[in-house]
Structure 1
Amino acid sequence: MSVLPIQSTLPELLQTLGEHSNVVLQAPPGAGKTTAVPLALLDAPWLNERKIIMLEPRRLAARTAAARMAAQLGEDVGETIGFQVRGERQATGKTKILVVTEGILTRLLQADPELQSTALVIFDEFHERSLQADLSLALCLQSQEYLREDLKILVMSATLDTSGVSSILNNAPIISSEGRSYPVNIEYLNPKEELEDKRQIPALMTRKIVESLDKEEGSILAFLPGVAEIKQVEDLLKERLTEKTLKGPITVSPLFGDLSREQQDQAIAPTAPGTRKIVLATNVAETSLTIEGIRIVIDSGLMRESRFNPNCGMNRLVTSTISQASATQRTGRAGRLNAGYCLRLWSEGRQRSLSAKNTPEITRSDLAPLALELAKWGVTDVSELSWLDTPPPGPMAQAQQLLQQLGALDDKLRITPHGNTMLAFGAHPRLAHMLVASVDWGLQEQACLLAALLSERDIFRGEARWDRDINKRIQALQSQGSDYRVDRGTVHRVRQQSKSWGSQLKKIVPSANCVSPPIDHSDEIGALLGLAYPDRIAKTRKDSARRFLLSSGRGAHFSHDDALSLNEYLVIADLDGQGRDARIQLAAEISLPALRSCFATQIKEEISVRWDETSGRAIALQQTQLGALVLHQRPAADIPQETLSRALLEAIRKKGLSSLPWNTETNQLRFRIEFLRQSKECEDLLGDTLVPNWSDDALLETMENWLLPHLQGLSRLEQVGQLDLHNILRGQLEWGLQQKLDDLVPTHYLVPSGSRISIDYGETPPILAVRLQELFGLAQTPTILKNRYPLMIHLLSPARRPVQITRDLVNFWANTYQEVKKELRIKYQKHYWPDDPLTAKATTKTKKRMDMGK
């Protein structure tokens, strides 16, 4: 066996892991890290009779890694080396290295947060950034922080932002390894051959495989996006390979996750001497696998990835373009054993447009399963954990809201017993809730079939897909005969999944007698679908556009005539979210009696009040509601005072603040408060006293706090005119601010003439408009805020017309007054205009009246 490049790095890795709790290992494709690193750590003294858990992103990689390590020890899998994937476990009490897939590690952590029997957790191929890997790392880090200081974590990857990972691992040391340096000749597609339609990929891939068999030596690994494309290429190759005389025998082996273990082993096993192999693989072959004899890679540049699909409310597999990092990984498959060749089925120009690395699944996925896992762990706020990419707050809040609606979380976002049962099931929370709840209705078989149907692509093909009725698909699945409308492969997968969930359901939820009132057979699928989609129960709007209103408040419609559109109520499983009203893609009928029977706990009796503009008073209806749907309504006999007050409040909010009885005194109070709030000059004078925001927007938003209590006893909009807004608003101020208000921002200023002049705070700076004569003898500019803020003085003539504006009265007396005096003496000869205003007596009178007063 040749020496693996990683082996020169192992001594440094062993020493670093002995000295640190966390380490990051970066090793290029072909370095041998997946098998060599765990084996090298078997004799580490800090293991102390405990085991190593290694996380692999896929079942095939986990089984293969375990088999290769066991073979190197000369043992069978299940002895020193074991593995555990969903539905399969080969491990014993003597197992020291347990290779697991992502969901398994999460289950192990939930069952034993301390991982008492584990010394080290290895995260292999972490660059793929799956949601489960991110979650498991976050849980391990918290366990390490609070429960297991001695737990060690090793993150390994070929292409990774090592600095970012090191940071969340408490600045863990980074170790780099060289990869195997066999050169790979990379060629790109001629731009003229580049495809716009992804459906043409199988034909192009087949042609390039046949050309490469003639052009190059060795076996071929062809990357295709999914199973459907693999089967198409396999069929096309059978036709093409019989038409040509090729050098030696050739075998064609599919490789994807749902194959049997024997078929997967056959795809990665060495071929007989003189035989060439064509492996048609999804991205399961991208990492952690060495397929013997591969020298040629043909890359479609596409993959299937899980993305949140708002149409169905769950994750769905979509075909997308790979990243540059994935392209590098795939190319590396050709250079594992010797010099290789890689053909990329896209142009060199398009290569530059590929994203640099994989998009973290946590940023593009449905977060409901993650939210349920976190609730089980005891975390309601994601900021409590360390993340490379924090779950987005919006999708996270939506996920928690859905889980509350499904009964998985309580009002404090803690997991409920029902949520624990759902989590044990392993399906999406929507489907898990439906499956668990179906037991009480005695509809387990129908629920399993429906859940499997919703997890797969549509079983109908051709024009039959235009029929939106999910009941017809269930009937096709239950039929024993052949149905020309269905895709047989999809039907087979649905039936197999249904059986699997049926077996799980029997183990997890004990059978029970039906506790719900009986429903008609025609309502069964609709009722079950309503369990999974309580937010998509819909009622017809009875219009020609075939529109429906959903219980969530959204709108939906049929894009064409469909018998389902004639029903009053539906439950919708699939929506096309484009447009104002989403298009209904898949739904089931349900009757009103079934809704009342099956969803009684969600139905509420409420009084709805609307304001009638004509009469100026509230009109109330007693409504039976399921979310946004009104199932029944009648006039309300009595309107609760709180409901009436809120209706009046909404009427005021709709009309705006101008509908309230504002006066000069109240407006000035608002202006004074706003001036205080924005004045930096008074921050130290206020101390900790809070100055409220009384802008129009702020008052409208907070009307429930300051206005609603004063609407008690009012029933008509015209009665609002009786409110004393000044005292209402002043009563909202803190006591400390009420005490300081008149001192800091007084309503009036006492001028030398003895007059109390009002200050206008509606402008900035506030204005003191006063006749010039009344300020004689005043040497300094009038101020507020404890003499820190000079007012804007509007000096008026005896006729109260502005003659000068200033914030510097001293300068006015010294430099401007004499010029102003000349003009005023001409216009207002009866009034007193002294030569020295600072020694003159302030007055409001004419000269004659002044003389009379002597």
Structure 2
Amino acid sequence: MLRSVGLELPVRTCVPALQRALAEQGAAVLAAPPGTGKTTLVPLALAGLVDGLPGPARRVLVAEPRRLAVRAAARRMAWLLGERVGERVGFTVRGERRAGPRTVVEVVTTGVLLQRLQRDPELAGVDAVVLDECHERHLDADTALAFLLDVRAVLRPELRVVCASATSDTAAWAELLGGAPVVAAEGVSYPVEVVWAPPPRPVRPPQGTRCDPALLEHVAATVRRALAERTGDVLCFLPGVGEIARVAGQLTGGPAAVDAEVLQLHGQAAQSVQDAALAPGERRRVILATSVAESSLTVPGVRLVVDAGLAREPRTDHARGLSGLVTVRASLAAGRQRAGRAGREAPGTVYRCWAEVEDARAARFPTPEIALADLTAFALHAACWGDPDAAGLALPDPPPAGAMAAARAVLLALGAVDPDGRATDRGRAIARTGLHPRLARALLDGAARVGPRRAAELVALLSEEPPRALGDDLVEVWRTVRRAEDPYARRWRDEVRRLRGHLDAPGDGPGADGSGPSDREAAGLVVALAHPERIARARGPQGPYLMASGTAADLGTGSRLSGVEWLAVAVADRPAGSPSARVQRAVPLDEPTARQAGATLLTDREEVHWSVRDGELTARRVTALGAIELDAAALADPDPDLVRAALVDGLTREGVGTLLRWPAAATGLRERLAFLHRTLGDPWPDVSDEALLDAAGAWLEPELSRARRRADLARIDTAAALQRLLPWAGGDAGRLDELAPERITVPSGSRIRVDYADDRPVLAVKLQELFGWDTAPALAGGRVPLTVHLLSPAGRPAAVTGDLARFWREGYKAVRADLRGRYPRHPWPEDPTTATPTRHTNPRGRTNAPG
């Protein structure tokens, strides 16, 4: 008999329509706001457990995105039936199952659902699956839905599927379900007043997982304000566990402590704290929560919401092998969900800790996890499902190609897939652990080397990160957790027992009797097996470190690991804007263990490159673990192709003008060719630095192939080499002296070199040598007139012209008046157009007649 409160839930009115949709099409989308009963009443009704809501008796599986929501939903449904969890309503999360032979409604995490689908695609004994909170776009939920659609299409068309969303944005889900009907439930919506409460002074935007302490102080002050201005419990949204702990400290310590019970609600909270937050309190309460409280949990008594406006999203740096969470501005949809918590039971108020204008820059909806996350586990699920590229899966959004390629590369290195992407037996064993494939590899391979018990204990530490307060030395953290009795230690022991169930080796294995590796050696090996790309070696006595991935890394100030040469890095991130990773948790390592764990990264290669520091080519045989150099020796006879590539790289880095010798003849030819390319284009070649580098094989061979060092480059005859670029094939090369002559014969008989260094070619010649010449020749087939620099007898510029005839008419008289007194032995005729050109002075004793 269902408690009467269950029959009063708003979703009750739409259950008949939902039952009809499932009977007619086998699938439906349920849109129901938080608090309407979609998570509790609907599964009970689908199982035939609600009097007055007729329907066939079914076994129903409910998938929730979080363990906290799984336990809360199961407890609530069991309470509505007047039973204990494990009777007709049960639950399963990783490492814990409470269900029995009478169980007909089972609540599981989406991760558990995926594991069941892989083991038993038909989901034998299950009649209906409800995917709750699908609007949150968790990757496991998207994947589970795609698998369920395959099951319905191929194996079990009678399997019922419901996508339940707390938002009205349901069109995409209906389309994925083949045009399934949307059943909407109207919630009891009480008005929620919005109070904009931005910080009194600017705060720094979040960097990675760090929030400005000033913002957290403001959030705590806003909680105090809400308690003072309104009645009811306060639900405060913060991005993570660390921020919750800091705000809790400000609300409970010192003279500013609030007169209310302060609870911290998140996935790592103790079960007693979770129970207290989800049950009515005897005194006023402040519940500090992550996004877990946005939609899938009901927190009674809340009339006030304080929203910090932040959320955590996954990010993966595939190039550096780093992944983690970053703090971002929460979407507008999340803001609406959070605000709605204040109006679930009565009119309420939301205090938003930002300025209203900032909403214009916020995203409408959360970014789907598939677009941001490390896809290694997803790619393995797809491979085990028989669709390695995930191309045939009905996903709301396709996986990014780059992330999938990176994931497949990791799986191939782990031996989890073959070169075609198909899952191997080892890959299927890895998938069955329910761990990230990297951690599963560490568990399976580490057990044989350090023993099942220690492998399971260490991997359990890696799968759910211990509290940061325990320090950055994972070995010390391990020893502390072994002795502890806190909630984290209890969850850790449960996970250890679960993981040992996946290991075939009996007993405790190596190390159990004091033989084998020490705890420190065992920890280093297991962490390095999980993350070989994060094996790191110090570059100096106190660091910094270089990881095998090629990323620099630094220890925190005062780290107990300072001075250790080798590290196996368990947890690291890269702060925004920083070129280096930040080591948050690691364990000392030795080189033999690093080589053993990182065997797939070991290379023995010829390394020929141009050293900018030495200004010379270096050739070595290098043994390396990823980017970490282990051994090196000079290479006497390097591969000629590698040498050639290194020399071209040297030319690129230092410039053709630095490493090659450019005598006047070579420089002149290059300038002439540049002039013709600029003026006429093809077939005259581009001889800029970039073009010469691109065409190195065309003009520097065979000299480049014979070169072995910098001195060989300097001996190349660049003038002769440039001749190879001339357009010989079409016959145009023969017109070079016609179109861009190196020298021009002037009226005095002198052959004067043309300067092509500037945009316009220049002829610099003494004025007296041009008497009688009224037109200088045009170059490039008459297209470009010469610019003439008329020089004094001392070789200094006296005038510049492009029109000699005009100069003789209008400019010569002033130049003659200025210079003939200073150079009396040189001719300065009154009419230069009829005078005899000369490069000599007047005969001895003769002077210029006065003009």
TM-score range, shorter chain: 0.5 to 0.7
- Which digits, 9 at most, give the CA deviation of each residue in 1:64-86, with x for residues without a partner? 43444455556654454433233
Structure 1 residue aligned with 2:526: 528
1:98 and 2:92 aligned: no
- Which residue of 20, 25, 40 corresponds with 1:20? 25
Q: What is the distance in 2 between the residues matched to 1:554 and 1:302?
A: 32
Q: What is the distance in 2 between the residues matched to 1:415 and 1:522?
A: 34
Relative distance call for 1:348 and 1:703 in structure 2 (3 A) is: same
Structure 1 residue aligned with 2:312: 305
Per-residue deviation, 1:802: 9.8
Relative distance call for 1:232 and 1:183 in structure 2 (3 A) is: closer
Q: What is the distance in 2 between the residues matched to 1:230 and 1:575?
A: 21
Aligned to 1:372, the other structure's residue is in SS state helix
Structure 1 residue aligned with 2:761: none
Counterpart residue type for residue 93 of structure 2: V
1:268 and 2:278 aligned: yes
1:175 and 2:183 aligned: yes
Relative distance call for 1:328 and 1:560 in structure 2 (3 A) is: closer
Structure 2 residue aligned with 1:199: 216
Structure 1 residue aligned with 2:602: 603
Per-residue deviation, 1:110: 1.1
Q: What is the distance in 1 between the residues matched to 2:39 and 2:151?
A: 24
Q: What is the distance in 2 between the residues matched to 1:472 and 1:589?
A: 11
Counterpart residue type for residue 356 of structure 2: G
Aligned to 1:118, the other structure's residue is in SS state coil
Aligned to 2:398, the other structure's residue is in SS state coil
Per-residue deviation, 1:559: 7.9
Structure 2 residue aligned with 1:824: none
Aligned to 1:549, the other structure's residue is in SS state strand
Aligned to 1:34, the other structure's residue is in SS state coil
- Which residue of 567, 572, 586 corresponds with 1:570? 567
Per-residue deviation, 1:104: 1.5
Aligned to 2:391, the other structure's residue is in SS state helix
Q: What is the distance in 2 between the residues matched to 1:331 and 1:803?
A: 79
Structure 1 residue runs without a partner (length 5+): 245-249, 481-487, 660-674, 676-695, 722-746, 749-755, 761-800, 806-854
Q: What is the distance in 1 between the residues matched to 2:503 and 2:389?
A: 30
Counterpart residue type for residue 547 of structure 2: L
Relative distance call for 1:804 and 1:626 in structure 2 (3 A) is: closer
Counterpart residue type for residue 504 of structure 2: P
Structure 1 residue aligned with 2:400: 392
Aligned to 1:632, the other structure's residue is in SS state strand
- Which residue of 212, 223, 228 corresponds with 1:211? 228
Count of equivalent residues? 690
- Which digits, 9 at most, give the CA deviation of each residue in 1:373-430, with x for residues without a partner? 2232233213332222222222332233233334434433333444333333333333
Relative distance call for 1:330 and 1:394 in structure 2 (3 A) is: same
Relative distance call for 1:804 and 1:596 in structure 2 (3 A) is: closer
The within-5 A match list for 1:417-428 is 417-428=425-436
Q: What is the distance in 2 between the residues matched to 1:155 and 1:698?
A: 60
Please say if residues 448 and 499 of structure 1, whose CA atoms lie closer than 8 Å, have aligned partners that are also in contact.
Answer: no
Q: What is the distance in 2 between the residues matched to 1:593 and 1:191?
A: 54
Structure 1 residue aligned with 2:816: none
Alignment RMSD (CA, Å): 5.6
1:368 and 2:410 aligned: no
Please say if residues 321 and 533 of structure 2, whose CA atoms lie closer than 8 Å, have aligned partners that are also in contact.
Answer: no
Per-residue deviation, 1:618: 9.2
Q: What is the distance in 2 between the residues matched to 1:757 and 1:258?
A: 79
Relative distance call for 1:701 and 1:174 in structure 2 (3 A) is: farther
Q: What is the distance in 2 between the residues matched to 1:455 and 1:63?
A: 20
Please say if residues 194 and 347 of structure 1, whose CA atoms lie closer than 8 Å, have aligned partners that are also in contact.
Answer: no
Structure 2 residue aligned with 1:625: 624
Q: What is the distance in 1 between the residues matched to 2:168 and 2:627?
A: 47
Aligned to 1:384, the other structure's residue is in SS state coil
Q: What is the distance in 2 between the residues matched to 1:317 and 1:612?
A: 38
Q: What is the distance in 2 between the residues matched to 1:70 and 1:23?
A: 25
TM-score norm. by structure 2 comes to: 0.65
Per-residue deviation, 1:55: 1.7
Counterpart residue type for residue 134 of structure 1: D
Per-residue deviation, 1:156: 1.7
TM-score norm. by structure 1 comes to: 0.65
1:166 and 2:174 aligned: yes
Per-residue deviation, 1:445: 5.2
Please say if residues 52 and 97 of structure 1, whose CA atoms lie closer than 8 Å, have aligned partners that are also in contact.
Answer: yes
Please say if residues 222 and 278 of structure 1, whose CA atoms lie closer than 8 Å, have aligned partners that are also in contact.
Answer: no
Per-residue deviation, 1:509: 1.0
Q: What is the distance in 1 between the residues matched to 2:214 and 2:618?
A: 58
Aligned to 1:106, the other structure's residue is in SS state helix
Per-residue deviation, 1:535: 0.8
Q: What is the distance in 2 between the residues matched to 1:525 and 1:336?
A: 49
Per-residue deviation, 1:474: 5.0
- Which digits, 9 at most, give the CA deviation of each residue in 1:117-174, with x for residues without a partner? 3333222221111121112112222333333333332212122532222333333333
Structure 1, 227-236 or 110-119: larger mean CA deviation = 227-236
The within-5 A match list for 1:618-767 is 621-635=620-634, 643-648=639-644, 651=647
Please say if residues 251 and 258 of structure 2, whose CA atoms lie closer than 8 Å, have aligned partners that are also in contact.
Answer: no
1:149 and 2:157 aligned: yes
Please say if residues 70 and 107 of structure 2, whose CA atoms lie closer than 8 Å, have aligned partners that are also in contact.
Answer: yes
Per-residue deviation, 1:534: 0.8
Q: What is the distance in 2 between the residues matched to 1:198 and 1:286?
A: 21
- Which residue of 495, 506, 518 corresponds with 2:500? 506
Structure 1 residue aligned with 2:126: 118
Aligned to 1:138, the other structure's residue is in SS state helix
- Which digits, 9 at most, give the CA deviation of each residue in 1:434-493, with x for residues without a partner? 2332212225555555445556667675xx96xx65555556667x6xxxxxxx9xx945
The within-5 A match list for 1:39-54 is 39-42=44-47, 51-54=59-62
Q: What is the distance in 2 between the residues matched to 1:649 and 1:317?
A: 41
Aligned to 2:172, the other structure's residue is in SS state helix
- Which digits, 9 at most, give the CA deviation of each residue in 1:277-298, with x for residues without a partner? 5261524333244444x25122
Please say if residues 95 and 498 of structure 2, whose CA atoms lie closer than 8 Å, have aligned partners that are also in contact.
Answer: no
Q: What is the distance in 2 between the residues matched to 1:163 and 1:405?
A: 40
Q: What is the distance in 1 between the residues matched to 2:468 and 2:67?
A: 30
Structure 2 residue aligned with 1:326: 334
Q: What is the distance in 2 between the residues matched to 1:433 and 1:180?
A: 50
Per-residue deviation, 1:525: 3.4
- Which digits, 9 at most, give the CA deviation of each residue in 1:344-365, with x for residues without a partner? 1425526625433223222232
Structure 1 residue aligned with 2:353: 346
Structure 2 residue runs without a partner (length 5+): 204-212, 660-680, 682-688, 718-728, 736-778, 784-851
Richer in helix (by share): 1
Relative distance call for 1:12 and 1:587 in structure 2 (3 A) is: closer
Structure 1 residue aligned with 2:535: 537
- Which digits, 9 at most, give the CA deviation of each residue in 1:94-119, with x for residues without a partner? 54433222112111111112324333
Counterpart residue type for residue 413 of structure 2: Q
Per-residue deviation, 1:644: 4.3
Aligned to 2:405, the other structure's residue is in SS state helix
Relative distance call for 1:281 and 1:160 in structure 2 (3 A) is: farther
1:296 and 2:303 aligned: yes
Aligned to 2:127, the other structure's residue is in SS state strand
The within-5 A match list for 1:742-821 is none
1:433 and 2:431 aligned: no
Relative distance call for 1:572 and 1:202 in structure 2 (3 A) is: same
Q: What is the distance in 2 between the residues matched to 1:284 and 1:257?
A: 8
Please say if residues 649 and 703 of structure 1, whose CA atoms lie closer than 8 Å, have aligned partners that are also in contact.
Answer: no
Counterpart residue type for residue 591 of structure 1: D
Please say if residues 64 and 133 of structure 2, whose CA atoms lie closer than 8 Å, have aligned partners that are also in contact.
Answer: yes
Please say if residues 46 and 57 of structure 2, whose CA atoms lie closer than 8 Å, have aligned partners that are also in contact.
Answer: no
Aligned to 1:387, the other structure's residue is in SS state coil
Structure 1 residue aligned with 2:789: none
Aligned to 1:33, the other structure's residue is in SS state coil
Aligned to 1:185, the other structure's residue is in SS state strand
Aligned to 2:130, the other structure's residue is in SS state strand
